[in-house]
Structure 1
Amino acid sequence: MSAFIKWFKEIGIKDTDEVGGKNASLGEMYNHLTPLGVNVPNGFAVTATAYRHYLDVNNLWEPIAKLFENFNPDDIDELKAVGKAARGLIMKGEVPEDLKKEILSSYAKLKEEYGDDVSLAVRSSATAEDSPTASFAGQNETYLNIKGDDNLLWAYKMCIASNFTDRSISYKYTHNFDPLKVYLSAVIMKMVRSDLGSSGVMFSIDTETGFKDVVFINAAWGLGENVVQGTIDPDSFFIHKPTFKKGHKAVLKRKRGNKEKTMVFSDKLETANLAEQFTKNIKTPIDKKMQFAITDEEVLQLADWAIKIEEHYTEVNGHYTPMDMEWAKDGVDGKLYMVQARPETVHSQESINEFEIYKLKERSNVILTGNAVGEKIGAGKVKILKSMAEADKFEKGDVLVATTTSPDWEPVMKIASAIITETGGRTCHAAIVSRELGKPAIVGAKNATKILKENQEVTVSCAEGEVGKVYEGILDFEIEKVDISKLPRPKTKIMMNLGNPELSFSLAKLPVDGIGLARMEFIINTYIKAHPMAIKHPEILSDTERALIDELAFPYNGEPEDFFIKTLSEGVATLAAGVYPKKCIVRMSDFKSNEYANLLGGRHFEPVEENPMIGFRGAARYTHPNYKDGFELECKAMKRAIFDMGFENIVLMIPFCRRVEEAKRVKEILTQNGLGDVETYMMCEIPNNVILIDEFLDVFDGISIGTNDLTQLTLGVDRDSQIVAFDYEERDEGVKKMVKMAVEGAKRNKKYSGLCGQAPSDYPEFAEFLVNIGIESMSLNPDSVLKIIKDIAEMENKK
């Protein structure tokens, strides 16, 4: 029996103290998840006993301990000096003969399994890492594509020396670990040749919001270090776990990253100089930058593994355990492999009942944008650091700005008010550490070091969705803390209005009864950018317009219709996922002609109208020759979201339906497009909708009252005109009578009635009026939800 080596088949999660978190988890997966189809490359652990043996034989305990006497981890110069000295002591030592023999004989067995040409990944595995409270993300070193006995022994020494990198020492002190009592095991495993394929990171939870119903995957070409260290903007994918488990295998949401660099192995591997770099970055070819790094089938394969891994660890731990994982695709055999799994360390520690909302109380010019990490706001003076050599100029509360923030920078990151980097995705090590430190960070903010100026005062907001914004000046903001478990639940359903899919997961904690108004226009305007008819009829477009649409469609095999249908369906499905299985009422497109004309190619298809507000909009478009083909695209997208992706909580809503005959025509075209059996409501916003409520409800399954247009058309006030704005009043008795008649009509027909508009948020008396007439639900802007829930519960108690 080996004294210093344990193969993956011999270890599991219970062996962390001896083999470290990474090894223990690889062994756990190898033993329990490979039978379920999860590919894990074979390998072995060089144990913590071996680490202690190395220090014993080389008499290193006492000299290393002396380095930490009276040590101040917050003194960056002292931190650097101590770390360098400790690593130097280890590298001067020799691998004991008995340990050397076991490492090399185990290497020989891997050659027997995989062939003499097998290369190795040599990775650090600390005995305190990958716990639920500390990830040790990127604190220790990894050495890839190692071949030959001497190279392997050198890589092992480098790994154990990395127990004393500056960042690792600082991290240990931050998390109250004794640096002499965290022992380092090493992983030695078959190298997955992702340098010839792709790789990335995935989580079984949304990394920014803690939303538990998704798997989040990042992907890039080449070795995974670019994704992990945040040197590129990777592709990202989300998969919805509840619908996936029901058999609806589809990508929920995707975003193509630039993937500017591809990390491959360096030619210097053939040299004898072991200290030279093993990898290099090359520019990613333009065609690969424009493609996704993995196919949909591979995304779904990874999602399946992520769900199995999460379920296994949840069962082993006896409580819900979201996971942080690394994967790689071998360019030689074409297979996907799992190469790491550990508990997620931020959202798994949060209380599910606490809801903390950061809100800006004022706005200024947006200087810069990027990927938001965390949902907080920070402000301070900009300090641009080129390297940690400049760390002495950084003061507590400054905003750290850098090309990239590797984990080496943790001592500075923990005293920053916010962090901004030019590169990186939302799963890089720097992002993980930022979350653990509770710091707002914006990664992938291009040209940040050039746009921002030294000592410039800025406010960094990560509280407005996936896009982080850097505002000019120090802005006032507030933090609202709510214990959701203590909120009353009124009988009247409270829903929210939402059009931006980027906010869906962050708002999923809100105690709402669904989404009462999901605006399709936001997705078309922000993500698709092209007019639906321009997608269907490219022959009418200019060469420039066609080229722009072809560029949008390139990652979708160059098919513009596929691009439109997938982008719209995934945007709507993301909204529905945030409230699943509660209702998500999706309003079909309701652009006015002047708004449609602003879309790419729109000028060819839209009339010029004097008053677009009451012109060619809503239901009138859906069966009209000038837009029918565009509406069919919308229908195909909704059919995909509901039936293929499994979001049967989606309810369709038809806006601005003027006449009953028009309602019947729309219902017929929905049926022709496979949506005839889908629950469909009417936006009740025209006086005729109220007057003929019974006839309209013969066609539709319910109504949602749009107070904006109903007020406009009841009072004859153009709500876009400032000159008569003083006459626009939702509380007018005529408007209220219209609302009351509509609700009574819905009750009479035993159909759904709701209201989506600003009035209940702005006027408590209007909310009280709605409660009194017995409306089934009201849908509000998200920032009004918590207040209105309290107000309405009090009103209902008084009745």
Structure 2
Amino acid sequence: MDFSWVCDGEKVYLIEVNLRPPLSPTTMKFYHRTESTEPLLSGQAQGHSVGSGRVRIIRERSDLEDFQAGEVMVAVKTEPDWEPAFRKASAIITEKDRRVSHSSILAREMGIPAIIGCPEPTLALTNGQTVTVSCCQGQVGHVLPGRIEHPLDEFSLEKMPDVGVQLMVNLSMPERALATAQLPWAGAGLVRSEFMIGGWVKIHPLALLQPQKLSADTRNALDRLCSGFESFPEYFLTRMTQGIALFASAFWPRPVNIRLSDFKSNEYARLLGGDAFEPKEREPMLGWRGASRFLHPDFRPAVELELEAIRRVRDHLGLTNVRITIPFCRLPEEGEELLQLLASCGLKQEENDLEVWVMAELPSNVVMASDFAALFDGMSIGSSDLTSLTLGVARNSETIMDYFDELHPVMMKSYETIIEAGKAHRTAVSFCGQVASQDPESAALLAEMGVDILSLAPDALHPTLERLRL
């Protein structure tokens, strides 16, 4: 059923209701490999889907104005604020994006096939050329000439089979929550709140709290976005409460782990008004982010807004299936301070069944795994950051990316240490890294190691179940 609404700034009116034929909510589609066709290009597949369309090369942001629905986006590298165009794309091909980049994460969540690490696609392909992007043949994706049909099957699942590990889903977009929750996932193991801030709020939270520091043009833009709301902070609270509530209600009573915003300073600076509040750091990945940002007096009022939105969802709406996950927590002492901050904002651990988790994504989380496991209700392994920081490889490095191996023995030992600490303290351990979504063999290996939860991209359910059932 589709609803159409209008708002006059004070009241909301329901103006139209359209009935649609009922769909099976527990049915997924998946593609099979097709006959051998010589690819034009190959790269790293993101997801397990297939898409065809005409090529549209995006060399700069202004080219997005000409991007049409159903076209294949081709670029050297995408940017987070290209999200509206992602929604129109039938497929994405890039050269320098990585598996954990904004476009890769959103493409998987939207079910759009994407190929990254493709050699010079903007030179090899031409505007208007029809191609098929195939990501259904394992970890290597292919760009095929013309429109190549792939056999399509449906996969129906009303009850999750017992495979020895809980399967949860990674999400970022509130508008995808209802459809995704129709499948019998055990819950949402990772909800990235920074994507809600970027996509739903669009404004730096400190700009809403300190608008006097903004330029006249930025202040005018802020006024337009917040029109009809009681105050600037209330705009943030309303939008975030709505987004979080969508996730929580869609999955109720299954747990939903909301990870507090993990933007880095350069990413926060891209939000409206952000450049007035963010430092220019040479190494944002290792800088002002995560727990240290939340505890800093300059940013604490902003994270208190985020926490108030969570409190409203839990206390006012009664959606107590919402959990909190702390990102990039360097030390146990920092974790203790965070728990005190949460309590001061009406979110006390264990009160009203509140669970507080922590990301395990730093070498210090491994070395002090027992201390973190004793402090928090769960640990969620973020393998991308953990691999980068353990092996000393920048995720955007083009020269030493061969060293970035989330399944290297060093990393497997790190995961084992975290899992053992979790079992010793009866603390749940989840693995939400992208490698488990991309490679079913990796998912099976992690399940055998004893991880309690595998949190996967939405499109990874079928191939993962196929492997775990063996």
User: Of 365, 370, 377, which residue of structure 2 is paired with 1:689?
Assistant: 365
Match of 1:774 in 2: 450
Deviation at 1:457, TM superposition (A): 10
Larger-Rg structure: 1
Match of 1:294 in 2: 12
> Would you say the 8 A contact 1:488–1:790 is kept in 2?
no
User: Of 219, 224, 228, which residue of structure 1 is paired with 2:5?
Assistant: 219
Match of 2:419 in 1: 743
Deviation at 1:616, TM superposition (A): 0.8
**RCO higher in structure (CA 8 A, sep ≥6):** 2
2-structure distance, mates of 1:521, 1:695: 27
Distance of aligned partners of 1:679 and 1:487 in 2 relative to their CA distance in 1, 3 Å threshold: closer
User: Of 146, 151, 164, which residue of structure 2 is paired with 1:491?
Assistant: 164
Match of 1:515 in 2: 188
Distance of aligned partners of 1:490 and 1:546 in 2 relative to their CA distance in 1, 3 Å threshold: same
Query: Residues 398-436 of structure 1, C-alpha deviation per residue, up to 9 Å, x if partnerless?
Result: xxxxxxxxxxxxxxxxxxxxxxxxxxxxxxxxxxxxxxx
User: Of 299, 318, 325, which residue of structure 2 is paired with 1:627?
Assistant: 299
Report the number of matched residues: 371
Give matches, 1:60-99, under 5 Å. Answer: none
1-structure distance, mates of 2:67, 2:4: 23
1-structure distance, mates of 2:308, 2:193: 14
Query: Residues 16-68 of structure 1, C-alpha deviation per residue, up to 9 Å, x if partnerless?
Result: xxxxxxxxxxxxxxxxxxxxxxxxxxxxxxxxxxxxxxxxxxxxxxxxxxxxx
Distance of aligned partners of 1:477 and 1:502 in 2 relative to their CA distance in 1, 3 Å threshold: farther
1-structure distance, mates of 2:340, 2:147: 52
SS in 1 for 2:431: strand
Match of 2:213 in 1: 540
Give matches, 1:141-156, under 5 Å. Answer: none
1-structure distance, mates of 2:411, 2:181: 33
Tell me whether 1:672 sits opposite 2:390 in the alignment.
no
Match of 1:713 in 2: 389
Match of 1:656 in 2: 328
Distance of aligned partners of 1:532 and 1:485 in 2 relative to their CA distance in 1, 3 Å threshold: closer
2-structure distance, mates of 1:711, 1:670: 29
Deviation at 1:545, TM superposition (A): 1.2
> Would you say the 8 A contact 2:26–2:183 is kept in 1?
no
> Would you say the 8 A contact 1:494–1:789 is kept in 2?
no
Deviation at 1:510, TM superposition (A): 2.5
> Partner letter of residue 597 of structure 1?
A
Distance of aligned partners of 1:740 and 1:457 in 2 relative to their CA distance in 1, 3 Å threshold: closer
2-structure distance, mates of 1:571, 1:527: 8
Deviation at 1:687, TM superposition (A): 1.4
Give matches, 1:328-347, under 5 Å. Answer: 344-347=19-22
Tell me whether 1:361 sits opposite 2:51 in the alignment.
yes
Give matches, 1:190-229, under 5 Å. Answer: 203=1, 207=2, 217-220=3-6
Deviation at 1:651, TM superposition (A): 0.9
Distance of aligned partners of 1:293 and 1:761 in 2 relative to their CA distance in 1, 3 Å threshold: same
User: Of 574, 581, 586, which residue of structure 1 is paired with 2:246?
Assistant: 574
Deviation at 1:523, TM superposition (A): 0.9
> Would you say the 8 A contact 1:642–1:650 is kept in 2?
yes
Distance of aligned partners of 1:357 and 1:732 in 2 relative to their CA distance in 1, 3 Å threshold: closer
Match of 2:90 in 1: none
TM-score (norm 2): 0.73
> Would you say the 8 A contact 2:441–2:467 is kept in 1?
no
2-structure distance, mates of 1:691, 1:765: 27
> Partner letter of residue 753 of structure 1?
V
Match of 2:410 in 1: 734
Match of 1:754 in 2: 430
2-structure distance, mates of 1:655, 1:345: 41
1-structure distance, mates of 2:440, 2:30: 22
> Would you say the 8 A contact 1:360–1:476 is kept in 2?
no
> Would you say the 8 A contact 2:429–2:453 is kept in 1?
yes
Give matches, 1:87-486, under 5 Å. Answer: 203=1, 207=2, 217-220=3-6, 288=8, 291=9, 293-294=11-12, 344-347=19-22, 350-356=23-29, 359-362=49-52, 364-365=55-56, 367=66, 479-485=152-158
Deviation at 1:488, TM superposition (A): 3.7
Q: What CA RMSD, in Å, does the superposition of the two structures yield over aligned residues?
A: 2.8
Deviation at 1:219, TM superposition (A): 2.7
Deviation at 1:369, TM superposition (A): 6.9
Match of 1:394 in 2: none
TM-score (norm 1): 0.44
Deviation at 1:765, TM superposition (A): 3.4
Match of 2:117 in 1: none
Match of 1:525 in 2: 198
2-structure distance, mates of 1:701, 1:685: 16
Distance of aligned partners of 1:486 and 1:627 in 2 relative to their CA distance in 1, 3 Å threshold: closer
Deviation at 1:697, TM superposition (A): 2.5
2-structure distance, mates of 1:597, 1:513: 35
2-structure distance, mates of 1:702, 1:659: 16
Match of 2:463 in 1: 787
2-structure distance, mates of 1:219, 1:542: 34
1-structure distance, mates of 2:71, 2:394: 41
1-structure distance, mates of 2:242, 2:146: 37
1-structure distance, mates of 2:319, 2:148: 39
1-structure distance, mates of 2:245, 2:5: 22
2-structure distance, mates of 1:600, 1:697: 37
> Partner letter of residue 213 of structure 2?
I
> Partner letter of residue 545 of structure 1?
T
1-structure distance, mates of 2:436, 2:239: 33
Tell me whether 1:610 sits opposite 2:285 in the alignment.
no
Deviation at 1:354, TM superposition (A): 3.3
Match of 1:556 in 2: 229
Deviation at 1:362, TM superposition (A): 4.7
Match of 2:108 in 1: none
Query: Residues 234-290 of structure 1, C-alpha deviation per residue, up to 9 Å, x if partnerless?
Result: x5xxxxxxxxxxxxxxxxxxxxxxxxxxxxxxxxxxxxxxxxxxxxxxxxxxxx4xx
> Partner letter of residue 495 of structure 1?
M
Deviation at 1:626, TM superposition (A): 2.1
Deviation at 1:485, TM superposition (A): 4.4
Query: Residues 519-571 of structure 1, C-alpha deviation per residue, up to 9 Å, x if partnerless?
Result: 011111112111111111111111111111111111223x1111101111211
> Would you say the 8 A contact 1:361–1:477 is kept in 2?
no
> Partner letter of residue 375 of structure 2?
V
SS in 2 for 1:506: helix
Distance of aligned partners of 1:556 and 1:368 in 2 relative to their CA distance in 1, 3 Å threshold: farther
Deviation at 1:769, TM superposition (A): 2.1
Unaligned runs of 5+ in 1: 1-202, 208-216, 221-234, 236-287, 300-325, 328-340, 371-376, 380-455, 460-472, 795-799
Query: Residues 718-762 of structure 1, C-alpha deviation per residue, up to 9 Å, x if partnerless?
Result: 112222211100011010000011011011101111000111233
1-structure distance, mates of 2:163, 2:50: 29
SS in 2 for 1:667: helix
> Would you say the 8 A contact 1:515–1:584 is kept in 2?
yes
Tell me whether 1:589 sits opposite 2:261 in the alignment.
yes
1-structure distance, mates of 2:430, 2:302: 28
> Would you say the 8 A contact 1:219–1:293 is kept in 2?
no
1-structure distance, mates of 2:50, 2:335: 42
Residues 611-620 or 714-723, more deviating: 714-723
2-structure distance, mates of 1:369, 1:529: 24
1-structure distance, mates of 2:280, 2:24: 54
Query: In percent, how many aligned pairs have the same letter?
Result: 32
Residues 652-661 or 769-778, more deviating: 769-778
> Partner letter of residue 346 of structure 1?
P
SS in 2 for 1:769: helix
Query: Residues 168-221 of structure 1, C-alpha deviation per residue, up to 9 Å, x if partnerless?
Result: xxxxxxxxxxxxxxxxxxxxxxxxxxxxxxxxxxx5xxx4xxxxxxxxx4333x
> Would you say the 8 A contact 1:360–1:475 is kept in 2?
no
> Partner letter of residue 12 of structure 2?
I
